[in-house]
Amino acid sequence: MYQNKVTFRRADSPKTYTLPLSQFSVKDRAFILAEKESGRLSIAAYTGSQQPKVAPVKKVQHHLVASQQIDALLGKYRKAQGSEAAPIVDDATYLRRAYLKIIGRIPTHAEAVYFLNDSNPHKRATLVDKLLDSPGYVSHNFNLWADILRARTTGRDGSRHGGVYYVPWLKDQIRRNVPYDEFVKTLLTAEGYPWENPAVAYYLRDFGMPLDNMSMTAQIFLGTQMQCAQCHDHPTDVWTQKDFYELSAFTYGLKTGVNINSQESPELKEVMRRLREISKKQHGGQAPQAQTASPYSAGREFFDPLRWGVIHTKRNLKLPHDYQYDDAAPKDVVAPTVLFGNLADKNLHDSASRVDSYADWMVSKNNKRFTLVIANRMWKHVMGKGLIEPIDNLTDESQADSPELMKYLESVMQALDYDLKQYLRILYNTQQFQRAAVLDNPDLDNDYYLEGPIFQRMSSEQIWDSIATLMVPDIDLKLQSTYRGNQGGIQYESSTKPAAAIFVEEMNPNELTKHIVSMSEVYNAYHAARSAAAKANRDPELKGTPELAKIRQASNHARKEWNKMLNPDLNDYGIDAQMGMNSMMTGTPPTTNQRSGKKKPKKKWFEKNVRRASELQSPQRNGHLLEVFGQSDRMLIENSDDGGNVLQALFLMNSPQTNIQLANHSAPVLEAHLAKTPEEKLETLYIGFLARKPTEAEIEALLPAFKKDPEKARQRIIWAMLNTQQFIFIQ
């Protein structure tokens, strides 16, 4: 399992040689691993997989002046408060923290050894740059944004509402380090279908609830929680209900959901009309009902994906019928008006231009809130707590711990034109980031004075990713680019247009109608079999008989046949299935939404296709380790939890993973096998699991047993390390 072989070739010959790592001397081994760590040895090319490129951060020196300025302002603040700066942490502490905070996992043994032994005086800054450029950065930041945007690949949100397209797209945006203002504008102005424009999943996420969606937008990007104002004047903040509606009026013209029987979908309107006629004729002049078998209903099922998109309409927002305030009457049409500032472009004549103006206003440099919120949010991402808390419930009275620092951070964000990676780089290079972590009691209001970053538990994803790191080499390279979802029998897959969409592009209404009618036989058979099964199921005489089993089987079979019709092989129709979308296959099987027995996933945990949390379903199902450790269910914004519960403790104590697999097959263990002395072995384990060397006291306590019965001692030591609190907390 562990890649302990090296392939090399001489400079003058194409022939390659592969030897186990153990055949090299310790010095050579160290050299090879160091070369790999410093990036001069390319592992990706060796395995032959194609990794998408991560946009590197600009290694500009003068930006680091900003880091110094931040430290200076912090010093000024602390002096005024009479608080002391926490001391700078040692290398081992810094190492673990940097890896966890920048790329979301603990360092591998090789990475740790490399850093700890590096004598470069600027190694911390070098490490920051290296980590920012790595694929782990994408994985870690994806978790953050998926939580904020509630991006899901499961259920309806994953399939119909475009999750399988949205999630890879989000990762791509992070990978390419798209400027934040551009990213937000793309989200807010999105329209169309998710396979052509994945950003529409932002609106589809709150399908049919445009006002709720507007609340989300205000919360995420303006840091304002207006949802109270949806129904009445905000009780504690300045927003009135009318303000809320006036802002919502900008995007109200956008509709989630396309009526395929209307002009909203001109191609299909004609097809559905014809199908309705045909169905009528077949049913003796009666209009077809929604769910009885008819060409019309077959058409509705087949074209279902085309009902879930975002389009502009002419509809206007009206105040609710029970509007109770004096400044307007119930059901008045609302004119779009911004909460503060001015619109740059006063062109509001139709939905598209309204949305455009609104998006421009939102991301404009004149919108101070927009900058403040993201600057504060990224500060929290780095330091554990925002300068203003809560980060998305700001009011006019909200004050930063250090207003001067907050202002400075806003100016930096603007100066960087919303380059988030560079902003993070500046923060990671401060002294502040290197200070000892400070306790912040959640029950007390004023006990934190920016002495250092906040002491916190690893997030659920960090825990999972760290365990994965211990088991799987090059875990950052095991990417998932393809998700699958299923709704109503239709398969949705990343980078792939649903068949219905392709058919509509390639065929005219006549051909489409004919195609649907040609499926009638299978469709009718499916309906009949389903009814027969329902009837047979309730027949008490058939209970438990082989006849019943046969009928059920027939129904399943008919369902499968119909599903084949819903998801045709395009080649059969002479349609080129290539979409021109970049489908990056990395050799790992696509993540599907299919329900599998709960027992199965647990068995397969640490086989070769274990991946980081960002590469799994978003979110994970109940019972999965990620959920047990508190992963957000992505139903509410940033809904994750970092509390403890009994199931976590039971897993850490009693699972086969912590008792057998990690104790016997993890990477540090395999490294330890190569070490010669018990002292070296012990040190290897400590560095692999806790990213530090054992203390004198620990050596004294553990070495004797280690010498006596190394196997048993090793299992015990590893178990103990995994069950410490220092393992799951970030110092």
Partner 1 sequence: MFDELNQLDELSRRKFMQYSAKALLGVGLSASTTPLWASQTVKKPTARNVIYIYLSGGMSHIDTFDPKPDWKDQGPVNPIDTNVSGIQFSEYLPSLARRADKLAIIRSMYSNQGAHEPGTYFMHTSYVQRGTIKHPGLGAWLNSMSGKTNSTLPGNIRIGGSNNAPGGAGFLDSKYEPLHLGSPEDGLPYVDRHHSVDEIEMRERLAMAQMMDLSFHQKYPAKQVRAYGDVYDEAIKLMNSKDLAAFDLSKEPKLVRDVYGDSRFGKSCLLARRLVEHGVRFVELTLGGWDTHNDNHDNVAQLTSPLDQSVSALLDDLHYRGLLDETLVVIGTEFGRSPEINGNAGRNHHPTAFTCVLAGGGIKGGQVYGSTDASGHSIAENGVTVPDFNATIAYALGLPIDQVVYSPSGRPFRVADKGRPITALF
Of residues 475 and 685, the one with the C-beta less far from partner 1: 685
Task: Identify the residue among 1, 44, 45, 653 touching partner 1 (CB under 8 A).
Answer: 653
Minimum separation from the CB atom of position 424 to partner 1 (A): 25
Stretch that binds partner 1, among 56-64, 137-145, 360-368, 654-662 (CB under 8 A): 654-662
Q: Per CB under 8 A, does 535 bind partner 1?
A: yes
Q: How many residues of this chain interact with partner 1, rule: CB under 8 A?
A: 73
> Can you give the length of the chain in residues?
731
Minimum separation from the CB atom of position 646 to partner 1 (A): 5
Q: Per CB under 8 A, does 724 bind partner 1?
A: yes
CB atoms within 10 A of CB 584: 17
Task: Identify the residue among 49, 126, 414, 731 touching partner 1 (CB under 8 A).
Answer: 731
| Alpha carbons 47 and 44: distance in angstroms, whole number | 6
Minimum separation from the CB atom of position 262 to partner 1 (A): 21
Q: Per CB under 8 A, does 721 bind partner 1?
A: yes
Binding to partner 1 in span 577-636, by CB under 8 A: 598, 621-623, 627, 630, 633, 635-636
Three-state SS for 20?
strand
- For 161, the token pair is 């509402």
Minimum separation from the CB atom of position 726 to partner 1 (A): 4
Task: Identify the residue among 262, 399, 518, 723 touching partner 1 (CB under 8 A).
Answer: 723
Of residues 220 and 670, the one with the C-beta less far from partner 1: 220
Of residues 193 and 203, the one with the C-beta less far from partner 1: 203
Task: Identify the residue among 508, 695, 704, 708 touching partner 1 (CB under 8 A).
Answer: 695
| Alpha carbons 545 and 550: distance in angstroms, whole number | 9
HSE on the CB side for 87, CA within 13 Å? 4
* 101 touches 382 (CB < 8 A): yes
| Alpha carbons 191 and 173: distance in angstroms, whole number | 18
177: alpha, beta or left? (left if phi > 0; alpha if psi -120 to 50): left
Minimum separation from the CB atom of position 48 to partner 1 (A): 38
Minimum separation from the CB atom of position 698 to partner 1 (A): 7
Minimum separation from the CB atom of position 247 to partner 1 (A): 16
Stretch that binds partner 1, among 12-20, 364-372, 557-565, 693-701 (CB under 8 A): 693-701
Minimum separation from the CB atom of position 641 to partner 1 (A): 5
Q: Per CB under 8 A, does 719 bind partner 1?
A: yes
Task: Identify the residue among 531, 553, 556, 582 touching partner 1 (CB under 8 A).
Answer: 531
Q: With the CA atoms of 593, 595, 596 and 597 taken in that order, what torsion angle do they form, in degrees rounded to the nearest 10?
A: 150
Of residues 47 and 395, the one with the C-beta less far from partner 1: 395
HSE on the CB side for 332, CA within 13 Å? 14
Of residues 217 and 357, the one with the C-beta less far from partner 1: 217
Of residues 121 and 442, the one with the C-beta less far from partner 1: 442
Q: Mind giving me the DSSP string for 555-586?
A: HHHHHHHHHHHHS--GGGGT-----S------
266: alpha, beta or left? (left if phi > 0; alpha if psi -120 to 50): alpha
- Which helix (H) or strand (E) segment holds residue 492: the answer is strand 490-493
Three-state SS for 341?
coil
Minimum separation from the CB atom of position 235 to partner 1 (A): 9
Q: E strands of 10-50, at which residues?
A: 16-20
- For 124, the token pair is 């911390």
* 369 touches 394 (CB < 8 A): yes
Q: Per CB under 8 A, does 654 bind partner 1?
A: yes
Task: Identify the residue among 350, 649, 704, 709 touching partner 1 (CB under 8 A).
Answer: 649
User: 3-state SS string over 102-128?
Assistant: HHCCCCCHHHHHHHHHCCCCCHHHHHH
CB atoms within 10 A of CB 562: 23
Q: How far separated are the first and last CA of the chain, in Å rounded?
A: 31
Q: Per CB under 8 A, does 549 bind partner 1?
A: no
Binding to partner 1 in span 195-234, by CB under 8 A: 206, 209, 212, 215-216, 219, 225, 227
What is the distance, to the nearest Å, from the Cα of residue 6 to the centroid of all Cα atoms in its chain?
Answer: 34
Of residues 191 and 237, the one with the C-beta less far from partner 1: 237
Minimum separation from the CB atom of position 436 to partner 1 (A): 9
| Alpha carbons 335 and 395: distance in angstroms, whole number | 24
- Residues whose CB is less than 8 angstroms from the CB of residue 428 and which lie 6 or more positions away in sequence, other chains included: 98, 101, 102, 128, 132, 382
- Residues whose CB is less than 8 angstroms from the CB of residue 136 and which lie 6 or more positions away in sequence, other chains included: 102, 103, 104, 105, 476
> Of the candidates 342, 332, 397, which has an alpha carbon nearest to the alpha carbon of residue 364?
342
Minimum separation from the CB atom of position 679 to partner 1 (A): 17
Binding to partner 1 in span 382-441, by CB under 8 A: 390, 393, 437, 439, 441
Stretch that binds partner 1, among 132-140, 167-175, 180-188, 656-664 (CB under 8 A): 656-664
Minimum separation from the CB atom of position 722 to partner 1 (A): 8
Q: Per CB under 8 A, does 376 bind partner 1?
A: no
Minimum separation from the CB atom of position 487 to partner 1 (A): 15
Amino acid letter for position 549 = A
Binding to partner 1 in span 289-308, by CB under 8 A: 289-292
Q: Per CB under 8 A, does 321 bind partner 1?
A: no
Minimum separation from the CB atom of position 513 to partner 1 (A): 23
Binding to partner 1 in span 442-501, by CB under 8 A: 442-443, 455-457
- Residues whose CB is less than 8 angstroms from the CB of residue 575 and which lie 6 or more positions away in sequence, other chains included: 502, 503, 506
Of residues 137 and 203, the one with the C-beta less far from partner 1: 203
Stretch that binds partner 1, among 124-132, 325-333, 417-425, 532-540 (CB under 8 A): 532-540
| Alpha carbons 615 and 617: distance in angstroms, whole number | 7
Of residues 68 and 645, the one with the C-beta less far from partner 1: 645
| Alpha carbons 577 and 414: distance in angstroms, whole number | 43
Q: Per CB under 8 A, does 659 bind partner 1?
A: yes
